[in-house]
Amino acid sequence: MFSITADLKKRKTSELIVFPFWEGPKGAKPAADLADLKKGVKPPLDEKDFQGELKETALVYLSSSIEKRCLILGLGKHGDVSVERLRQAYAEAVKVAQQMALSKISVVFPSIVELGSLKENEAIEGVCEGLLLPNYRWEDLQTLAEETILLKKIQLIGILPKKMNEVKKWEAIAEGVHFARDLINGNADDVTPQFLGSAAKKVAASFSTVTATVFDKKRILKEKLGLLEAVSRGSAKDPAFIILSHKGAPKSKDHTVLVGKGVTYDTGGLNLKPTGSMETMRDDMSGAATALSTVATAAALKLKCNVTAVIPTTENGIDAKSFKPGDVYTGYSGMSVEIGNTDAEGRLILADALAYSVKKLKPTRMIDLATLTGAAIVALGHELAALFSNDEKLAEKLLDAGEASSETLWRLPLFASYNKKLKSSVADINNTGGRAAGCVTAALFLQNFVGKVSWAHIDIAGPAFQSSEIGYWPKNGVGFGVRLLVHFLSNLK
């Protein structure tokens, strides 16, 4: 994808060159040495048609340069520069290139000496992620629409060739995000529990540090993963329980377990979802996609940490065999659960996965990711995920990773007094706690299955899936959490 040319004057030709500008009090100011582009880009600057505001673009046709076209790109005010603003600006350039169906472009870096508070590697992060994250399409099922042309070759201008390793890192991470998006976007009838199991095995086959274990239905019954089994009863497809491990620090006992909700389609079960609430429910395995892809990405980056994805996966279908509201089921932990609502299925399969992980996997910490509640969307909308944790330090680190990746988390309380909402008169606990603070009671339900282990729950129901694109997030599956977790894992000690 990438090549690097340190000096603008030594660049090779391409279909378009992207050149950055700062927004200044006297108009736009070049953010790097203009050299032979100067003549071409002067008119829009002289006419004040281009101010250099963040994400502002103008297309200029050049006669005295080796490229025919230059896209001048606004980075906003120099003093406001940040990794995220670079992501946003360079993503805008990719969108222009996509509209023009270009596949080979050159991209000029803002001059490093001018970046001030930003370190060179942070500039590389912002520019590379801005270029790579929107360079994605999901049109596999559209046979009539015109195909989006993706960028195939990008010449980076203005950084040293020795930075290629750094660039490759962001390429691997973007690949991980795209992998998660593909899993989320695929038809529910294609991306089944078995499909996720095979995907995990493929990851294991690709990396020597990775192993995969997939429990089939028989093994799930044998292991007494009874809540996962209960949810799976209404589906024609068998459930699976996936354990995917990257051992990057074999001598260390430190072990991060990522539990991902893998409901491949959520009809709601016998408490059937109404029309209008079901149509996007193939996204209900977004947590699983993120956990799986994070382990794959950790392996690709050779991260020196031990991380395991634990994925309980099933469809929440509807059938004569379905599990029933009002009935009581017992899962791995031995706690009996009254089913207040079959649509609160995510917490049931997560309960089994968390209890299993505590008992069998010696976790130092557990982080679960789940499209768990509509209430998290009501509280925080579609650009924030809700964070709950029983460990201040873990919460702090996750909030930091969220800020660094701009996959932003907002902490909500595990307010103990609301445990009373989960009381059952027939079982140890009820799986629903009423409408009010629905994402808090869901998190409190999960807390019953983590024991004393350091744990965080991230409700990604809001950001996991978008009805229209937002900046470098595409429509449909976002792959939310992969970048956040890679940041988190990279910063472990």
Q: Which residues bind ligand BES (CB under 6 A)?
A: 266, 284, 341, 343-346, 371-375, 432, 438, 461
Q: CA 190 to CA 187: how far, in whole Å?
A: 5
Shortest distance, CB of residue 228 to ligand BES, whole angstroms? 14
347 counts as catalytic: yes
* 3-class DSSP assignment, residue 374: helix
Cβ-based neighbours of 203, under 8 Å, separated by 6 or more: 210, 212, 244, 292, 295, 296, 299
Our CB check for Zn ion shows the closer of 23 and 315 to be: 315
Active-site entry in 77, 273, 304, 421 = 273
User: Tokens 């060159």 label which residue?
Assistant: 17
Our CB check for Zn ion shows the closer of 125 and 459 to be: 459
Task: Provide the pairing of β-strand 57-61 with 262-266.
Answer: unpaired
User: Tokens 């699983």 label which residue?
Assistant: 288
CA dihedral of residues 228, 234, 235, 240 (deg, nearest 10): 10
Burial of 312-340, coded b for 16+ CB within 10 Å and e otherwise, reads: bbbbbbbeeebbebeebbebbbeeebbbb
Our CB check for Zn ion shows the closer of 404 and 439 to be: 439
| Bridge partners of residue 389, in order along the sequence | 456
Partner from Zn ion, ligand BES, none contacting 374, C-beta within 5 to 8 A by type: ligand BES
Q: Between 324 and 363, how does the x/- string for binding to Zn ion read (CB under 5 A)?
A: -------------------x-xx-----------------
Active-site entry in 347, 365, 397, 483 = 347
Among 23, 182, 229, 284, indicate the residue that binds Zn ion (CB under 5 A). Answer: 284
Partner from Zn ion, ligand BES, none contacting 315, C-beta within 5 to 8 A by type: none
Shortest distance, CB of residue 28 to ligand BES, whole angstroms? 42
Partner from Zn ion, ligand BES, none contacting 432, C-beta within 5 to 8 A by type: ligand BES
Shortest distance, CB of residue 423 to ligand BES, whole angstroms? 15
Return the structure tokens found at 294: 């994070």
Partner from Zn ion, ligand BES, none contacting 373, C-beta within 5 to 8 A by type: ligand BES
E strands, 121-255, in order: 153-157, 210-215, 240-247
Partner from Zn ion, ligand BES, none contacting 229, C-beta within 5 to 8 A by type: none
Shortest distance, CB of residue 415 to ligand BES, whole angstroms? 17
Partner from ligand BES, Zn ion, none contacting 341, C-beta within 5 to 8 A by type: ligand BES
Run of H or E including 172: helix 164-185
Partner from Zn ion, ligand BES, none contacting 186, C-beta within 5 to 8 A by type: none
Our CB check for Zn ion shows the closer of 84 and 284 to be: 284
Q: CA 480 to CA 253: how far, in whole Å?
A: 28
Shortest distance, CB of residue 273 to ligand BES, whole angstroms? 7
**Distance from the first to the final alpha carbon of the chain:** 32
The span of 234-242, 284-292, 404-412, 467-475 binding Zn ion (CB under 5 A) equals 284-292
Partner from ligand BES, Zn ion, none contacting 461, C-beta within 5 to 8 A by type: ligand BES
Q: CA 55 to CA 457: how far, in whole Å?
A: 34
Tell me if 283 contacts Zn ion by CB under 5 A: no
Shortest distance, CB of residue 267 to Zn ion, whole angstroms? 8
The span of 222-230, 279-287, 375-383, 395-403 binding Zn ion (CB under 5 A) equals 279-287
Our CB check for Zn ion shows the closer of 23 and 368 to be: 368
* 3-class DSSP assignment, residue 325: coil
483 counts as catalytic: no
Closest residue to ligand BES, based on beta-carbon distance? 374
Shortest distance, CB of residue 375 to ligand BES, whole angstroms? 6
* Start-end of H helices in 285-414: 286-300, 346-360, 374-380, 392-405
User: 96, 142 in Cβ contact below 8 A?
Assistant: no
Our CB check for ligand BES shows the closer of 306 and 432 to be: 432
Task: Provide the pairing of β-strand 240-247 with 16-24.
Answer: unpaired
Shortest distance, CB of residue 465 to ligand BES, whole angstroms? 7
Our CB check for ligand BES shows the closer of 146 and 279 to be: 279
Q: Between 253 and 272, how does the x/- string for binding to Zn ion read (CB under 5 A)?
A: ----------x--x------
Return the structure tokens found at 272: 């059937």
User: Tokens 């377990």 label which residue?
Assistant: 257
* 3-class DSSP assignment, residue 309: strand
User: Tokens 């603070």 label which residue?
Assistant: 437
Q: Tell me the CA distances in angstroms from 189 to 103, 196, 229, one per residue in order.
A: 33, 12, 19
Q: What is the DSSP string of 387-407?
A: EEES-HHHHHHHHHHHHHHT-
- Chain residues in the site for Zn ion (CB under 5 A): 263, 266, 284, 343, 345-346
What are the residue numbers of the active site?
273, 347
